Copies of this chain bind each other. A is one copy, B any other.
């Protein structure tokens, strides 16, 4: 077989580049030959970005791609994405995901008690602070779903989502990425706590004043603000953002726009 005139199977992307989605095992020498003739071919075709998706089973081919000038774009547990830019002009390949997204859930009952936990690990462990349930929003998950899920997982309490009261942007949190934490207000639909064993040391309903008066919350501005916002919300003088489903030209599925419904309803 004359490998020099064969090229790798590739599909065009919508930005003028090509994507190679390798699936079959290959000898790294054969891969090197194929890759060189493929790059020549794509260059003649005027292609710009070249993407190679290598399943983890084909890790043996990564070294060859790097030797030919490819670099890493991103990796997920089961694959590595390598990339190459053919034109002489500046590379416009967008960077990979830059943020983690988290939720903090304020669940207040009719007795003005707040649902709080003590964690078994992490930054809050061992400092004696009762905190609200928090957790990460997965890719593909709605923010309000994540808040409801985290409360249920950590405490067994069912809730209804009310509003995003505020959000906080922090940096350098996890391998140089940034975090956005949405502070959410939720309304409880059940009251019997069944705490999660793996991560939660204790969970309880705590009078809001006792929660707010913890020295930790008084000392640290983000927590002080959270308490102020929560009180303002209870007194009905604060309006956060609530989710509205919207349909769109670019996205097939419904998605959510978070806005100040109070302000919007007034205007329309």
Contact = CB atoms under 8 A, between A and B. Distances in A.
A239 interface: yes
A239 B225 contact: no
A101 B180 CA distance: 9
A99 interface: yes
Nearest to A166: B259
Interface in A201-219: 216, 219
A138 B138 CA distance: 19
Interface in A169-215: 169-172, 174-178, 180, 198
Contact of A136 (B94, B177, B228): B94
Contacts of A137: 98-99, 178
Interface string A17-49: 000000000000000000000000000000000
B94 A232 contact: no
Given A98-B100, A168-B255, A169-B255, A123 B250 contact: yes
Contact of A225 (B96, B169, B246): B246
Given A258-B167, A268-B228, A174 B94 contact: yes
A249 B216 contact: yes
B231 A267 contact: yes
A167 B60 CA distance: 43
A43 B142 CA distance: 38
8 contacts: A59-B66, A74-B74, A96-B97, A139-B171, A171-B253, A171-B255, A220-B249, A232-B266
